[in-house]
Structures are given as structure tokens and as C-alpha cells.
Chains A and B, each alone.
Chain A
Amino acid sequence: MNELKIPRINESIYHDRLENGLDVFLYPKDELEKTFAIFSTKYGSIDQKFIPLNEQEMVTVPDGIAHFLEHKMFEKEDGDVFQHFSERGASANAFTSFTQTAYLFSSTSDVKENVETLLDFVQDPYFTEESVEKEKGIIEQEIRMYDDKADWRLFFGTLGAMFEKHPVHIDIAGTVESINKITHEDLYTCYETFYHPSNMQLFIIGNFDLDEIESLVRDNQSNKSFEDQKEIERDYGDEPVQVHKQQEVIKMPVSTPKCMVAVKEKPEALQKEVLLENDLVRDIVLDLYFSKSGRYFEELYQEGLTIDTLRLEFVLEDSFGFTAVGANTMEPEKFSKRVKEMFLQIKDEEIDENDYERAKKKKYGELIREFNDIEGTANNFMQYNQMGLDFRDIFETLENLSLDRFKDNLSKWVSEEQIAICMVVPEGE
């Protein structure tokens, strides 16, 4: 395996790409009690149009299928996989995001057995017509539960306003209507295409024996056969730079209105060479202006336009990106107008050198602190690796980010056509 040093914190990760294409990262931390392992595929809710394995033509599958597939992976002919983990005192879970589906466990004993179970259950699909039908009711309940959550609706309302073609605007779980169209054949099509080892990564961090786990993973994988696969062709549509709608209003039973203002990224900001830097710039901008120590936050608070802390989000992926500021506010109209003005004026703001250095310090300290969180560390490395980037480079990128470079970056960021607004307001208004 290759040793990847992280000099800033005096630690190392070991990496190898196996013959079947699986990326394996092992990050031993002997001083901990716990081990966390995550097995993930670069396949999320946005991957609904693609060329299936061994076929020639693009197909479109029902919305919400990646999430549906995740649910069904735990069910096997002989029962529920969760049970094998819990018999060993371990806990297992899974999640589906826009761009990945991941299966994970944490344990403080029997690491070998748990890793073996993790690899085997994800690589052994078992879907039947009956079990797929049964699951529809459960997922329908999950979708309805999210339909009642105002913050969730606000977030997807904002995405819907920003994106016209790109499937990121579709709810991760799909709709009641779309999931009812899913068949077990569809699940196999998606599984065969996206769960090939060359599209997957395994990350194990915590207290385990490096050599022992390395050979376990290697043997486990070499005992299974996979046919070679080329790069998967996916279609995310031809998304224009400008937002789909400037404003979206959702009515639902809430006592306090909510509002979110978002900036859609230009495609050039998501290029591999600049993505890490842009990620940092967005993070620092939100901090400098909209966090509890931020100037705009103080203005919004004094003007009575936000009730508490702002909700800050930024996502930069290779096919889409955005930065958003949201709030619980009694005056969503005024809030959206002010925040929009703020986004547009950021590029002309004078930034004091000291303020900028303090924001960088904060970011640096946070990066160090984040390494305490082993789940977060694994996710960071995997998310960047999936885009062909190395998370370790973030330290150097941060150190090299001068104020001039930061300002130059901001000057190219926002124009009015990239801004979308979403409001959730009480019914009957």
C-alpha cells in the first residue's frame, strides 16, 4: 500500500487500488477504541440517466431509485443484515446523498468480522418482486414525513428554483408516484452498473491492525469475480448558468416563515483545478459575513430580519454547486431583498487584512479539530477522492490563499442571474 502522509497532524493514511478497481483507504489510529468503516459508491440521487452495464443506449430510471436500492441492500434471503452487526455490539447504517450511496458501521470489537460482513452484504444483492413491493409503503411514509418538515421543503424549494435540468433539484427519496414505478429489475440494472468495485471506495479508520485488515480486504475481493467495466456514462442535462426561477413560494402550516437565498455556481468554478480553492473561499465568505461573528449577520439581526442563527450551506460537486443563506424570519420579503443585495455587494467590500487572517486562522483550527471526528474525516477524504481530489491538499490550498487571490476569486463569483430565493410562508397568506 502507499503511505499518504498528513504532515500537519503527523499521521498517515494507507491507500491502494485493488485489481478489480476498488479504492481502499486504511487510516489506523491505535489510540482510539473505535473503528469506523464506510463502503461507498459514486452513485446518488442525481444519477438517474445513464448507459447501463453492457448496453449502448441511455436509460432514465424512476426518481428516488438510489435511495430505494440502499434500503433494499440490508434485506437478504436469511433476514436482516443489521442483526449480524448488533450481535457483535456494533452499529450499522447507510445513507444516500446527491452523489453517493454509503454503507457503514462502527464497532469497538470484532473489526475483522464486521468488515467482512460489510463487504459481503453490499456485494450480494437480493431483490425480489415481493420485497420491493413491501418497501414501497415504508418509503412512502418516509417521504410523507419529510413533506411535513419545513426546513427540508425550504432546501428543496431553493434547489428547484436554482436548477432547471440538473437532477439535483429532485428530492433524494423521489416522490410517492415515482417510487411506485420502481421494479426489482430496475434495481438490478442500477446495482450492476453502479456497484462495480471500480466505482466504489472503502475507507476504514480507527483501532485495527493494518496488515491484518489489508490482507482481509484483498482476499475477500480476489475471491469474487467482476467483469471489467469502462467509465460509466451519465447524463445530468444541459444546465444553463442562470437560475430556473428567481423566486419560489411554498405554503404550509408553519408559525414562523422561512426564507433561503442561494447563489448557483458557474460551471467553470467547479473545474477540478479550482474546486478545492473555491470550496475554501465559499466557506470563508460565509464565515466572514454570515456567521455569528460576521458583519452581515449582525446587520440582519439588528434590522430584525432574522430570529436566530442563520442556516449556512455550501455544496461544490463536479456537476453542480451552490452557496445558500437561510433564516427563520418574520419578514421573508425584506430578508431576501437584503441578502440578495449582500451577495451582490460582497465583491466590492473592503476586507481588512487582520479580519481576513483571523478568518483563515479559524478555518485552519477547524480543519485540525475536524480530525477528532473520525466519521467526518472518512467522509471528507471519500467525497474529494470521488472527484479525483486529495483532501490533504486543503491545508496547502488554505495557506496559499492570499487576500488578493481571495478577492480576485470573489470578483468572479456572483451575478444577479445566479441568485434564487425560496420562501416557506404560512398557509392562507
Chain B
Amino acid sequence: MLKVEKLVVRYGAVTAVRELSLEVGQGELVALLGPNGAGKSSTINALTGLVTPASGRIVLDGKDISHVRTEDRIRAGLTSTPEGRHIFSNLSVGENLRLGAATRRDPAGVRQDIERFLALFPVLSERYGQAAGTLSGGEQQMLAIARSLMSRPKLLLLDEPSLGLAPKIVVRIFDFIGELKAQGLTLLVVEQNARQALRFADRVYVVSAGTLRYDGPPARFADEHDLFNLYIGG
């Protein structure tokens, strides 16, 4: 579904991503692991188009989207839940969800989806009219993922969904991510928290200093303790 070839991202003189290539197949959950500053978020932002890569190709469903604007990539079925959640804190929970569906033209379907997420996350229902900035970190993460899903994406990029959350909440978030995979969504999950990411991953990539260091199934990855320790730290 998604194919990235020799992606290079530079910020001035600093190269954040060096010739990174990866692939995500239909219905797969692929984990992209690596330490802080490895170039994971830069990769995600290049995929959504918020950052312009210096070189490389991004192909979605056989179409080269390397030079397509962010807005049009979202319309093509790709979306991301950014690192740090980035919910619209001055808008209400409901307004956040409505904006998530901005590309859709079926009001009835949008309303149904909103109700589905409110049933799934009762706390969002309780806080529906409140400013989203008043939610707790875990609730904001759920809202952020639900908001991304409102556009009915084919491929969801999740950037550090566990960031800054309590361990119990992280487990719940990943349970939900597992459900999304079971429903057939294709996911690319960027994480520092390898244990959680590996629970549902079909394949694993490990990046460090902008370069790919591992590519393979999670089982083999867990066996290779050296790698595990080197990049994940235990």
C-alpha cells in the first residue's frame, strides 16, 4: 500500500533521514522503532507532506505522491496522528471530531462515526461540548486517534501514541490499535516503547541516526538481544 524509496530529509545542514526505504502492505501493522532523534517523526512528516524531503520517492497505492500537497494526501486516504497529539485545544471535543471529517461529504455517515467513537470512548461523550484542552493526556490521545479515523483513512500513521502517558493508559491505547488492525486498517506505528509496539506488529523496522538498522519480523527482532538493547535500551 505504501512504498518509500531512499527518503532523505534535511533541515539545513542536518540530515535527519538518510536514504530510508520501507514498505507497508495492505492490512499490515508495521512498527518503526528507534531512539529519540532517530528520524522517526521526520519520516512521518515527510510521508504526510508537512516536511518536504530532499530526495526520495513516496508511493501510495501505486501512485507517486512525493510532490502532492498534504491536503491532497489526506484526501487520498493517508492520515497521521501527530506526535504530541496536537488536538485543537481551543475547540470542543465534538468540533475536533467534526474537523477530522472535513474531507467527507456525507453528513449522516459523519454523525454515525462520531456516535460510534463516543460509544467507544464514553469519556469523550461526557466532555463532548468542553474545550479539548481540558482533557487528560490519555483522553487527548484517544481523541486524536478518533479524529484521524474520522476521515476514514486507508492508512493511518501513528507517531508516538504512548508519549507522556501512564503505562496503564498506554496498554489501553495499544489494545485499541490492535482492534483497528483487526478491523482491517493498515497502520504504521512509530514508537520508542518497543514492547507495546511489538504486541501487534507484523513487521518491524528499526532506525537510528536516520538510517535503517533492522527490517524483519518481530520474533526475530526480539531474539536479537544486541539490537534490542542497543536501540531500545532494554
Same complex origin of A and B: no
